[in-house]
Amino acid sequence: MTAEDATPATSPPARSVLVARAPERGAGLVARLRDLGLEVVAAPVIERAPADDLAPLDDAVRGLARGAYVWAVVTSVNAVDALADAAARTGTSLAETPARWAAVGPATTRALTAVGVTTDLVPEDDATAAGLVAAFPDPAVTDPETPAVLLPLGDLARPTLDDGLADRGWAPHVVTAYRTVRHALPTDLAERARAGGFDVVVVSSGSVAREIAAQAGTGTPVVAIGTPSADAARDAGLHVAAVAAHPTDEALAAAVERALSGLAPSDPALSDTRPTGTNRAPDTSAKEHP
């Protein structure tokens, strides 16, 4: 055997994943992906900013405190943060409001728990605005004649919740809880992504998907947290390699593993069968970020 024959073969480079989240928000997912032997980089492409006018949100939180709403419906961790900030400004307590609380999914539920709020309703299988509407109860005969529901949403939210709950007989009150603004990727990461330096990108909302397309190009396949995010990604020209079965870190990690392995998902609803460029407006009314 020659010296050349005795040289050990080099290991192939680790597959790489860009998680389009702030490191602190993406820590759980990053840890799971690294446990799979992947190279993982976390960097945000959007961030929360306060609403241009804080008065409507503050007034709504005061209304919660005095019992003006039968329900409060929350669709994102960002909305929980904004509500907590408003409660601090107004000297009220979210935990002591008489309203019942609905959350779009597990991450939002955890955020509400962290501020002392008990969640009364979470959709079982569909962590989207449409899923919330489907799971929502009809008004009870003991409710006021026009039972009010508070919807603290982001500025880019579509009217899915508002229209759906109104059709169910509720009186939705939409208030802008926060704005979604662009956060630029570091230049080296944006250049790496545009050059094909990542195998997949994880997107957790329609806004994230659109910013990935704008900042990093459309050449890298994406793994989406749910159907609305996947639809927005396709509309932005991105290829959706996999969709998480649930909006959790565990399900997202499984979807990344599935995408990288090239195995087709067993559930047809999770495969990328829709044509791109459908001109369908993405549903950003529920942004569930585990």
Sequence-separated (6 or more) residues with CB below 8 Å from residue 14: 37, 38, 39
Entry pTM? 0.80
Portions of the chain given CATH number 3.40.50.10090: 13-45+183-270, 49-181
Residues 204, 197: Cα–Cα separation, whole Å? 20
pLDDT attached to residue 199: 96
pLDDT exceeds cutoff 60 at 3: no
pLDDT exceeds cutoff 90 at 10: no
pLDDT attached to residue 167: 95
Top CATH class of 13-45+183-270 equals: alpha beta
Strands 148-154 and 171-182: parallel
Under the banding of pLDDT at 50, 70 and 90, the label for residue 145 is: confident
pLDDT attached to residue 275: 36
Fold of 49-181: Rossmann fold (3.40.50)
Per-residue pLDDT of 89-123, as tens digits, reads 999 999 999 999 999 999 899 999 999 999 999 99
Tokens for 154? 């982001």
Residues 162, 246: Cα–Cα separation, whole Å? 24
- pLDDT, averaged across the chain: 87
pLDDT attached to residue 166: 95
Query: Which of 58-62, 213-217, 262-266 shows the lowest mean pLDDT across its residues?
Result: 262-266
Per-residue pLDDT of 170-225, as tens digits, reads 999 999 999 999 999 999 999 999 999 999 999 999 999 999 999 999 999 999 99
Per-residue pLDDT of 164-181, as tens digits, reads 999 999 999 999 999 999
